[in-house]
Structure 1
Amino acid sequence: MSAYLYHVFVEQFDLWIALGFFAQAMFTARFVVQWIASERARRSVVPVAFWTFSLAGGALLLIYALHRRDPVFIIGQAAGLFIYTRNIMLIAGEKKRNLAETESMEIPRS
């Protein structure tokens, strides 16, 4: 067992493994961000940072999966990127609509 662990975590360690670990850490950070935001609000909340970490971590994990030529990992990460991107687009659209609504509610001057 120790020989296996040594091979997996030491012998084959390279820049790609480092990228994979960094990508996984970013991907995991989204859950921490979501948990903290929900605890503060005392309700379930999905902040923009969740989707930002999802997109960044997912994209890096896709690059890692492409390098490793893992078809299951490639399809899984690629599919998620569409969801993350769409959620960021929806949030940006909502902010844009809210800004336009705020600007159209000008205070009358006397």
Structure 2
Amino acid sequence: MIDIEPKEFAEKVKEWIDAKNGTDVEIIDIAEVSTLGDYFVIASGNSERQVKAIADNVEYEAEKLGIVPKSIEGEREARWILLDYYDVIVHIFHAEERQFYNLERLWKDGTRPSAFE
């Protein structure tokens, strides 16, 4: 588990994504609709290189806080990288993949906290 509150960590992840020019960053509170975690952070990059850079930055900044992911998926292809931080699950998509999978639609029952917008 992470040492800071999940909401605070999700906010930090958003900042780290913004630092690498990630686009369309959205945080979804899934705590009431899933046991997977408390928050999804979803973002896009415009190329495989940018998607990887965003994921690397999130991982680097989290490690500076002593937080390591439970698992990482998709690094090789860098079309959809998932970083699982237990209560906060980070999805970084290539823009085309994000449109195709449309996680926001699948998790429409989750709430979008206004503090994140």
TM-score in terms of structure 1 length: 0.31
Higher relative contact order (CA 8 A, sep 6+): 2
Larger relative helix fraction: 1
Q: Which of the pair is proportionally richer in strand?
A: 2
Select the structure of larger CA radius of gyration.
1
TM-score (structure 2 length as normaliser): 0.29
